[in-house]
Structure 1
Amino acid sequence: MGDEGEKAAFSVNEQVILSIDVSTPRWFTGGTRIGRVDIPNVIAKQRNQLATNYTTRDQGQTWSHQRWEITLYPQQSGQFTIPPIAVNVQVSGEDGQSVRGTVQTAPVTFDARLPSALLTQESIWFTASEADVSQTWQSSTETLHVGDAVTRTITITAKDSLSVLLPDLMAAETGGDHAVASSRDYQAYAQPHQLSDTQTRGDYQSRRTEQTIYILQMGGDIQFPDYTFYWWDTQHQTLQTETVVGKSFHIAHTWRSWLAYYWPMLASVIISC
């Protein structure tokens, strides 16, 4: 999407690239500053802090160009208008002296919509051109006992997305970043999430890593849950489903955990006798 005022359609959460092209028939003599982009219900980021520089010739005249990129992420369905953006430039004047000035981009309108009828605003999903999920398990000892720890780490990587838009899969269990939750089988400690957004030569990559440490509180077999999420593949225009498979562990009892586990049954036997 350029800055010439055309209208385009995208998916909710899809990365929209606004290109701003600044040109002069002479040359740039100082840094160019792009004004703030503020649109309701749209996340705007200037992830690429460097412009693409190039030259063109028009009727024998050489023009120097700078192309800047602003990434936009619409958060809901609807029509959005990017207002004029102030661009502060410094170029060489006809007398060879530097001239400072401010130009305005043309307004741009685009639409965003849910890409699939299977999705709602409340669904756990994101939009990307490529995505991958990986998982690791670590335990404090090879043979687990009550009081030992199991660590579950899930990493989602995506191309042409944003780390804050990638799902927090274990939030329902722990309540979010830094949270603590407990159950009969374990106590769960959510670790600080690791969010990363990088850009290399127009290649936008995002990563979200979440980790939870489980302190085992009960012996026997413990099953950790599966997690399922969706992502809209902008490259193939299809809805993809990903499942992060859970895992079961056998936990050896201590005398105290054995008594806590079997006491209801023992008590019922004693009462019946």
Structure 2
Amino acid sequence: MLIRSIFTLVTVLFFCSAQASYAASISTSVDRARISMDETVVLSIRVSPQANTTPNFSELETQFDILNRSQNSQYRNINGQVTAFTEWQLTLAPKSTGKLVIPSIQYEQEFSDAIILEVAETDDTQSGLTPDIFLDIQAEKSEPYVQEQVIITVKLHTAIPLRVDDAPALNIPNALLLPLKDSQYQKRIGDKVYSVSELRYALFPQMSGELEIPIQTFTVTMRANSNFSNPLNYGQTETKRIRSRPVMLSVKPQAKGYQGEQWLPASKLEISEQWSSDTQDWTLGEPITRKITLKATGLSANQIPSLSLAESQSFKQYREKPESSDTQDARGLSTTITESIAIVPTQEGATQLPEVKLYWWDTQSNTQKIALLPARNINIKANPQLPAPKTPILATQPSSDATEQTIPDTTPATLEGVHATVIWQILTALLVATNLSLAALVWHLWRRSRPKLHLPAPDASAPQSRLQELDKFFSQPLNRASAAYFLRAFNRHFPKQAIDAMADQSLATELKHAIQQLNAYTYGDKPHYEGDLPTLQSLVRQATQQPNKSSALPTPLLTGLYPD
């Protein structure tokens, strides 16, 4: 009995010692205890024996960026001596200088020791020599106006072979940032020749005050030792974080005394125009095309407002959607906007096309300037192909201060001619009445001879007559003549105030836009109709069902292009 108890105790102790010998252990180490802000450190975490799970490394990210991580497991049995472990290697980049703590890392119930790492400022001088790698940010202006273009350049200088692993895009709050074309070139600084990678941006501050261009950080990988004569160092790499210095801009508000409706700070702005006919003599009813081109340097298309064109009773203007394009060059962003306007003369006589002007602020001279198209004198002449306007005949009233009056001749011959004229007038009236009666009788007989169709009585409130008239347009080929007929019919059936009073305002807006597109094709210089006829037909049919709350007859939606 005693021997059995001793054997059981020995067995328990053996298993306990075996469990203790195979309990997991964790340890950490770094390859260096002191680094600078542009350098990285490799943290090794080893768990013995081999691990089944991965430790939590999230606490490291409070003071470090984890740039890279790798994992490997090993098992070795040499002369009965077993070695097994799992190791993680993390490449860490410090977020600040000073004494940083690599915290204790937990694996199961075990904890590693914390490590103190000293991080110093980057030494750019290196005993009077320029560094092999450095990052620089430059701003074209330090005191720009709000919404003025500022060229920002990020330059990476390197005198040794390397690989850029991470180069995040520039991000600046309270500013619009547009990337420009990148470039690469070589430059000698001191005793070294650098390869320069240049990233350019067009920055538009959106608020006045202090604006900071934050520190940019690039991650690069290079060889650990440039001395390739040592075969043991060949192929080894080192990861570095290259940081720039912050740049501050003092953004000025809009200049005092500026008269423009919209603030336009630019280094250059020009306006020009082209006409389909160079003559200043226009013909009534014949459209003239005017193209206005605006070119600006240092502005985007979204910053430039629509030009203000004065109206006139002598002509109508139909504007097309402007065409805009942005280009990039050494000066940054340049914008070209072209607008086409169809002008239709509607009234004879001399008139004047008002001037077109746009205020802008010259950032080169810090002065207000005006882009101007001068006024143009126009003479609108009659169109022989159009019918002459009807002129009312007014009865001539005798002057109150006349001293002489004309006495009609009442001789017998004159009276006889008067009687003859009256007789001919009576006979003509009787003949016209007879013809009208005969025509009415023929029409009545023809109506009675037609077969009767038993159709339900139409709804008096449904405007089927105007819908049938407008639908004829969609059943025939599209040309300018048929489009002009449709526009006149639409103008008669759909007055402007009636459309404005529609219950469905979105339908009214779409209908107006579609009619304007057809109008631009009919009387402008568009070779093709840019709209969609099935869509226009659907909008017209929907409009006929819309209630119109206006009781008074309003003015037409489309003013007549030609005088009556």
Q: TM-score, normalised by structure 2?
A: 0.37
Structure 2 residue aligned with 1:220: 349
Structure 1 residue aligned with 2:251: 112
Is 1:81 matched up with 2:212? yes
Structure 2 residue aligned with 1:43: 176
Point out which structure has higher relative CO (alpha carbons under 8 A, 6+ apart): 1
Deviation at 1:129, TM superposition (A): 2.5
Cα distance in 1 for residues equivalent to 2:249 and 2:330? 25
Cα distance in 1 for residues equivalent to 2:303 and 2:375? 23
Structure 2 residue aligned with 1:246: 375
Cα distance in 1 for residues equivalent to 2:323 and 2:282? 28
| Contact 1:125/1:166, CA 8 A, preserved across alignment | no
Amino acid at match of 1:56: R
Distance of aligned partners of 1:215 and 1:4 in 2 relative to their CA distance in 1, 3 Å threshold = closer
Structure 2 residue aligned with 1:165: 303
Structure 2 residue aligned with 1:178: none
| Contact 2:350/2:377, CA 8 A, preserved across alignment | yes
Structure 1 residue aligned with 2:186: 54
For 1:206, which of 324, 327, 335 is the aligned residue? 335
Deviation at 1:70, TM superposition (A): 0.8
For 2:158, which of 5, 13, 24 is the aligned residue? 24
Structure 1 residue aligned with 2:322: 193
Cα distance in 1 for residues equivalent to 2:375 and 2:293? 14
Distance of aligned partners of 1:139 and 1:76 in 2 relative to their CA distance in 1, 3 Å threshold = farther
Cα distance in 1 for residues equivalent to 2:167 and 2:341? 42
Distance of aligned partners of 1:215 and 1:75 in 2 relative to their CA distance in 1, 3 Å threshold = farther
Cα distance in 2 for residues equivalent to 1:241 and 1:8? 26
Gap runs ≥5 in structure 1: 174-181
Distance of aligned partners of 1:202 and 1:4 in 2 relative to their CA distance in 1, 3 Å threshold = closer
| Contact 1:126/1:167, CA 8 A, preserved across alignment | no
| Contact 1:141/1:148, CA 8 A, preserved across alignment | no
Amino acid at match of 1:194: E
Structure 1 residue aligned with 2:194: 63
| Contact 2:138/2:154, CA 8 A, preserved across alignment | no
3-state DSSP class of the match of 2:148? coil
| Contact 1:231/1:240, CA 8 A, preserved across alignment | yes
* Structure showing the higher helix proportion among its residues: 2
Residues 85-123 of structure 1, C-alpha deviations (whole Å, 9 max, x = no match): 565x66654456898887665543323224531126x62
* Structure showing the higher strand proportion among its residues: 1
Structure 1 residue aligned with 2:474: none
Gap runs ≥5 in structure 2: 1-135, 225-233, 399-564
Structure 1 residue aligned with 2:270: 132
Deviation at 1:239, TM superposition (A): 2.0
Cα distance in 2 for residues equivalent to 1:244 and 1:251? 21
Deviation at 1:18, TM superposition (A): 1.2
3-state DSSP class of the match of 1:80? strand
Cα distance in 1 for residues equivalent to 2:304 and 2:283? 34
Max Rg structure: 2
Cα distance in 2 for residues equivalent to 1:38 and 1:91? 27
| Contact 1:4/1:106, CA 8 A, preserved across alignment | no
Deviation at 1:77, TM superposition (A): 3.2
3-state DSSP class of the match of 2:360? strand
Distance of aligned partners of 1:252 and 1:118 in 2 relative to their CA distance in 1, 3 Å threshold = same
Cα distance in 2 for residues equivalent to 1:100 and 1:230? 53
3-state DSSP class of the match of 1:10? coil
Amino acid at match of 1:200: D
Amino acid at match of 1:113: K
Cα distance in 1 for residues equivalent to 2:364 and 2:349? 46
Cα distance in 1 for residues equivalent to 2:169 and 2:357? 39
Deviation at 1:234, TM superposition (A): 2.3
Identity over aligned residues, as a percent?
Answer: 21
Deviation at 1:22, TM superposition (A): 1.4
| Contact 1:124/1:229, CA 8 A, preserved across alignment | no
Cα distance in 2 for residues equivalent to 1:169 and 1:98? 60
Deviation at 1:4, TM superposition (A): 7.0
CA root-mean-square deviation: 4.0
Amino acid at match of 1:20: V
Structure 2 residue aligned with 1:177: none
| Contact 2:143/2:249, CA 8 A, preserved across alignment | yes
Distance of aligned partners of 1:215 and 1:161 in 2 relative to their CA distance in 1, 3 Å threshold = same
Q: How many residues align?
A: 250
